[in-house]
Chain A
Amino acid sequence: MQLAKEVKYLIHKEILLEWRSKYTINGVLLYVVSTIFTCYLSFVSLGDKLTWNALFWVIMLFASINGVSKSFLQENKGQQLYSYILASPAAILISKTIYNTLLMLVLTTIALGFYALVFDTFTPPDLGMYYIAVILGAISFSTVFTMVSAISSKAGNGGMLMAILSFPIIIPVLILLIKLAKNAVDGLPWENSLDDIGMLVIVNVMTVAASLLLFPYLWRD
């Protein structure tokens, strides 16, 4: 019960901080929109839906690395020490993950809308299925990147290490996501995608369990 209270409070704190500056959400949003626009201008002759689908996920991957890596990297030593005294490590990790998931959900939803607007040929026939892929993508990106950003923030040199450490871990998830989204673009029946959804859920549960076990060691300095 104590944990739930702490998590709720910490999420509230994160949202409040973000709401005051609106730096991360606006920054990443501008990043996504300008990347989509650049891609549109450079790939305009490509008519293949599957290429657009892969491109969407690559854009989302880079946007979420930029968005989620903020969560630990932007906090300074004093802030971390302060929250270390106040809350349990599990509460901090859970709250960061949930907050990042919310952030990514908002971001991916807007990006998907903008993507569908810019590439009017893209709109997948099975939008519900595609949106499930987007939600699962938001969750898995935030679970993996939250932990990796914690590791790289402790290691001391942020950006490059974050990319090196997270890419090999996220590639299997990304492949599953692209496959699931491709099913939606092709308009396959839902039964075909259940395996992939289950696999993604299992990978996420595994990641969260490993993070919860390991984070206390990481947090204690």
Chain B
Amino acid sequence: MTDAVVAASRLGLTFQTNDGPVEALSNVDLTIGKGEFVSFIGPSGCGKTTFLRVIADLEQPTAGTIAVNGMSPEMARKARAYGYVFQAAALYPWRTIERNVALPLEIMGISAAEQRERIKRTLDLVNLTGFEKKYPWQLSGGMQQRASIARALAFDADLLLMDEPFGALDEIVRDHLNEQLLVLWARTQKTICFVTHSIPEAVYLSTKIVVMSPRPGRVTDVIESTLPKERPLDIRESPEFLAIAHRVREGLRAGHSYED
């Protein structure tokens, strides 16, 4: 597998807490290919966010191996291989939207002219043209999250890691952003890893769905989606869609995710 963006083998991570060790990830084998849209779904505590943070070199695995773009996560991070979108927009409140998008560009030492060009392009990509000079508090939650996606896209990393980016938004806004995200994915050809706890969201967006279960966090099923690339919102009422959603639910049940 030379074009694997993420390759994990027997990956494990145990946190040492005051209540003894907690196995957040156990024996995770997973390969993510270039251009895929992979969703991680499972109840809280199943390690889906932890796995994303391992890819991003924000957590260190305690067992197994993982490669990002064929190198260690640390090297990949230092090579600025990915953009990360957090659960909250995490915009800096003292910066305008354009200055927030410029933040990674400033850190990476990109020239002012190039910065202007990229800010314009990425804000256009997330439909925020005209809001450059606004401060974060002047925008709605959905717009703030779009700005944070623009910020993650600004430095043109090929991998986009998204940790429940729409979790805090209401369902109508979320539907809209899901649609926009698919358009954006098609236009940019990026590889996207997307953590969610919404079954419809996972099925609607993904080419591959990784179902995880808790205690210890592990992968119970990997589902290759058979849905076409072109996905209008009402595809979610098609039998094919419902069949995949059913299989996700089965996977969750098999992992005891519905038990107390």
Whether chain B is bound by chain A comes out as no
Using a CB–CB cutoff of 8 Å, the interface residues on chain B facing chain A are none
Using a CB–CB cutoff of 8 Å, the interface residues on chain A facing chain B are none
